[in-house]
Amino acid sequence: MGNASASICRSLTEDIVSGKLPPGQKLEELVLAERFQVSRTPIREALRELHARGLIDLQPRKGGIVRSIGLDDLSDMLEAMVELDALCCRISAERMSAVQKKQLQMVQQQSEDCVARGDEAGYLQLNHQFHQLISAGAQNRSLAAMLSNLRERLAPFRAAQTHVERRLPVSHDEHQAILNAILASDAEASYEAMRNHTARLSINVLDLLKAQQGGDAPGRAPSEAPAAPKLRKPAAKVAATAAVKKPAKAAAVKRRA
């Protein structure tokens, strides 16, 4: 996908996730080409990508129609993300090199500066680096590939949390707990710190989507507060653990399920 189509895809994704483009809304190629001042070729590429992400249904030679975001499917992906992220962090605590740990410390320090300045864009970039370093530290290509795929699919939903109060300071504090556990080579504490961090983000995402699908405006408290969404009882641990190189850890992971 070229730069133009990627930019269009990001813009339309944000509009769909935020509710600006509601379910059933038609996305006509000609109208979109005029909106973004491009030819229809990058529009078609962007629409194909949105279709691949499950955000729209395609109409041949016409455009697309915004789909209703399935909370069950989204919950499944978030549940998998929570467990895989935590598992990756557990392994990283045991395998990360001294250089990688130092890099993680530096990223965390730079993130603190962004929080102090209120630099959200800078923080989000460093947040990506923080998680990438942990993923690399696990030294497991299969696990890294699964996480990368899930992160890409969930990125637009997780990025839509701009309304969450004290989002950056809370995230930074949780990163500090993760960092402390990794520096101490404490696998269990690393697992719990990352799982708590990712689970909180996942609940925020489900809250946002439930509010939107219930007809409440994004960024505003629902008129009738729904029951707090909960991720289902972890079921991904056993399957995910089979991907790692140390089978002895599998029993420990399963016991925590």
pLDDT average, residue stretch 85-114:
97
Q: Are residues 129 and 98 part of one domain?
A: yes
Answer with the residue of higher pLDDT: 19 or 109.
109
Q: What is the CATH number of the domain that holds 138?
A: 1.20.120.530
pLDDT surpassing 80 at residue 159: no
How many domains does one find in the chain?
Answer: 2
Q: With bands split at pLDDT 50, 70 and 90, how would you rate the model's confidence at 232?
A: very low
Q: Are residues 108 and 13 part of one domain?
A: no
Q: With bands split at pLDDT 50, 70 and 90, how would you rate the model's confidence at 27?
A: very high
Q: Which tens digits make up the pLDDT trace of 38-64?
A: 998 999 999 998 888 788 999 877 789
Residue 206 in 3-state DSSP? helix
Mean confidence (pLDDT) of the chain: 81
pLDDT surpassing 50 at residue 82: yes
Q: Are residues 217 and 137 part of one domain?
A: yes
Last residue of a domain, one of 23, 46, 66: 66
* CA dist., res. 177 & res. 180, Å (int): 5
* CA dist., res. 13 & res. 8, Å (int): 8
Q: Are residues 137 and 93 part of one domain?
A: yes
Q: What is the CATH number of the domain that holds 56?
A: 1.10.10.10
Last residue of a domain, one of 40, 66, 92: 66
Answer with the residue of higher pLDDT: 103 or 72.
103
Q: Are residues 85 and 11 part of one domain?
A: no
Question: What's the whole-model pTM score?
Answer: 0.68
pLDDT at position 138 is: 96
Containing domain of residue 128, as a range?
A: 71-256
Q: Are residues 17 and 84 part of one domain?
A: no
What distance, in Å, lies between the first and last C-alpha atoms of the chain?
A: 40
Q: Are residues 141 and 243 part of one domain?
A: yes
Strand extents, DSSP E, 33-165? 56-59, 63-66
Give the contacts of 111 (CB within 8 A, at least 6 positions apart).
123, 126, 127, 130, 172, 175
Answer with the residue of higher pLDDT: 233 or 6.
6
pLDDT at position 181 is: 98
